[in-house]
C-alpha cells in the first residue's frame, strides 16, 4: 500500500495488515524475548520468564510503525503525533525557533501564536511525522528534565528537540518533541538541509512523551481539547482559517 494514491471517491485499495516494527525497537523486543527464554528454558523460573515474554510483546507494540494515508493538500497541517490533544494555548514560539541560525537564516517571526500540544501515552504509536512538506531548516536538541510531559512547563524544562520545516513558498512550521516522565531519548530521523514530504517520519521518542506544534499566525486548530489524533492523517489546522469549534464529550 505504501505510495498508493487513495481518495474520497473510492480510488485505491485498502485492507488491514499487521503494522511493521521500527528497527529501533526490534533490538529491544528481541533482547527481551531472549532473556525470557533464558528464564523459561534454562533457569526454569516461570514466574519471571512468562512476565518477561509478555513484556516483549508490549515492547514490539510500542515500536509499531503503521502506514498512514497522508492528506495531499497544500493548505492543511497534519498532526505530527498520535495521541491526545492535551493543551491548546496562545504562546510565543521557543526562542530557539525564532532567532537567526549560524548561517543567518531567520526562524519563526516573533509574536503570539497558537500552540497545540499532543500527549503520547505508552499505548500510542511513537513515530513522529512532519506536519508539512519542505526543507528542514534546523534541528536543535536541548537536554533537560524528565517531568510529566502533560504539564505545561514541560515545554520549557524537559529534554526536547526543536524542528523547523520551511515550504518552498516560505511558510515555516516549528514543532518540538518533548521527552516525558519515562522517556529517556529522542531519536531524530532527519537533519538540517533534508527535503521531506508532509507526513514523512522524522523521529521517535521512547516511552511516553509529547509534541508541540506552533501554528502560523492567523490559523486556528481544527482539533478540540481532549481529542485523539493520528500522526500523518488527522488535519490539525487549515492555513488562514480562524473559527471557533466546540465539541461535547460523550
Residues taking part in catalysis: 209
Q: Which helix (H) or strand (E) holds 47?
A: helix 46-62
Dihedral angle at the C-alpha atoms of 193, 190, 212, 20, nearest 10 degrees?
150
Contact 178, 155 (CB under 8 A): yes
Give the residue carrying C-alpha cell 473510492. Answer: 10
Non-local CB neighbours of 100 within 8 Å, separated by 6+ positions = 106, 107
Could you tell me the three cell numbers for 126? 511513537
Burial class (CB in 10 A: 0-12, 13-18, 19+), 210: buried
Amino acid at each position: 500500500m505504501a505510495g498508493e494514491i487513495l481518495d474520497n471517491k473510492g480510488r485505491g485499495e485498502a485492507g488491514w495488515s499487521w503494522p511493521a516494527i521500527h528497527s529501533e525497537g526490534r533490538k529491544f523486543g528481541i533482547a527481551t524475548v531472549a532473556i525470557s527464554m533464558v528464564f523459561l528454558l534454562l533457569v526454569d523460573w516461570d514466574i519471571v520468564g512468562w512476565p518477561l515474554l509478555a513484556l516483549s510483546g508490549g515492547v514490539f507494540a510500542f515500536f509499531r510503525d503503521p502506514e498512514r494515508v497522508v492528506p495531499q493538500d497544500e493548505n492543511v497541517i497534519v498532526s505530527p503525533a498520535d495521541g491526545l490533544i492535551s493543551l491548546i494555548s496562545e504562546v510565543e514560539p521557543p526562542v530557539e525557533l525564532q532567532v537567526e541560525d549560524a548561517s543567518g537564516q531567520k526562524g519563526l517571526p516573533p509574536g503570539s501564536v497558537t500552540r497545540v500540544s499532543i500527549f503520547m501515552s505508552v499505548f500510542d504509536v511513537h513515530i513522529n511525522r512532519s506536519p508539512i512538506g519542505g526543507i528542514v531548516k534546523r534541528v536543535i536538541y536541548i537536554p533537560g528534565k524528565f517531568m510529566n510531559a502533560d504539564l505545561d512547563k514541560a515545554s520549557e524544562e524537559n529534554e526536547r528537540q526543536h524542528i523547523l520545516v520551511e515550504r518552498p513558498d516560505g511558510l515555516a512550521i516549528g514543532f518540538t518533541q518533548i521527552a516525558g516522565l519515562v522517556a529517556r531519548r529522542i531519536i531524530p530521523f532527519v537533519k538540517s538541509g533534508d527535503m521531506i514530504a508532509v507526513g514523512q517520519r522524522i523521529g521517535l521518542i521512547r516511552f511516553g512523551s509529547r509534541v508541540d506544534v506552533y501554528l502560523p499566525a492567523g490559523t486556528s486548530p481544527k482539533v478540540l481539547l481532549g481529542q485523539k489524533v493520528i500522526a500523518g492523517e488527522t488535519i490539525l489546522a487549515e492555513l488562514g482559517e480562524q473559527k471557533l469549534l466546540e465539541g461535547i464529550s460523550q
